[in-house]
Structure 1
């Protein structure tokens, strides 16, 4: 193991060093209220029976995009989308752009743009007389994504 190359601890990414923007129509918002966001790509697979094998294979047949966000409860953008849908029946689709960049790490930056996002619902009103700070969770789906910037490979990879 004398030649084993390992990752430098400085190449991990600080969790809070990110940017998040929502683009709704022609308006772009710095969604600095977000405390955490996670977007997932889930592949749909079908089992494939194969003659001569005791096990089945798996074949990808599609995908779906889902996400969740937790944010400080100090904006009405999500609630406005829900109100507009209730009042008009017209649903709102938007983009979310997330960039991770830690100047200490050698990997640089990565940007992912989630396209055709749509909220599943959300909190309309809340309070907590015994709490400290208010926050809110909302789930969403997305139909497409791009990755205009990718992390660099770590030295030794």
Structure 2
């Protein structure tokens, strides 16, 4: 029976992230943590001859969060544009996981039509060595251009 080698786990620091906002690509060097999730929407279905309630998928909801260092005004500018002008922005975020020490290779994912839910508009903390902010968002599409290979097992 094979086992997963520790070297094949993916280092979180080996990722790259890019936001494409209004056609401009911005490297998200300030990102500390990023997570996008899909949750299937399901309807309960009851049928004759079956006592249990069945479920049928009928779409999905995409949500996510990112923790970033408080060093960019890009997301505040998007929210300012919405609160002052009513113009809501949608943008894409590309995440590339590429740990060169792992045999599984690269995974390249794009989260599409990201729309911010909540941002910090101003912050300070006299006891913090580096300010961070949590940004929540929704999205409605995604693609995976490159996927991980099977790890080498021994």
| TM-score, normalising length: structure 2 | 0.95
Q: What RMSD, in angstroms, separates the aligned Cα atoms of the two structures?
A: 1.1
Uncovered stretches (5+) of structure 1, i.e. residues with no partner: none
Note if 1:71 corresponds to 2:68.
yes
> Which whole-Å deviations, capped at 9, do the CAs of 1:18-45 have from their partners, x for residues lacking one?
0000000121000110000000001001
Q: Please state how far the C-alpha of 1:58 moved relative to its aligned partner.
A: 1.4
C-alpha distance in structure 2 between counterparts of 1:85 and 1:40, whole Å: 25
Residue 36 of structure 2 is matched in structure 1 by 39
Q: Please state how far the C-alpha of 1:16 moved relative to its aligned partner.
A: 1.1
Note if 1:125 corresponds to 2:122.
yes
C-alpha distance in structure 2 between counterparts of 1:133 and 1:88, whole Å: 32
| TM-score, normalising length: structure 1 | 0.93
Note if 1:53 corresponds to 2:30.
no
Residue 106 of structure 1 is matched in structure 2 by 103
C-alpha distance in structure 2 between counterparts of 1:8 and 1:129, whole Å: 43
Q: Please state how far the C-alpha of 1:132 moved relative to its aligned partner.
A: 1.5
What SS class does the counterpart of residue 83 from structure 1 fall into?
helix
What SS class does the counterpart of residue 150 from structure 2 fall into?
coil
Residue 85 of structure 1 is matched in structure 2 by 82
Q: What number of residue pairs does the alignment pair up? A: 153
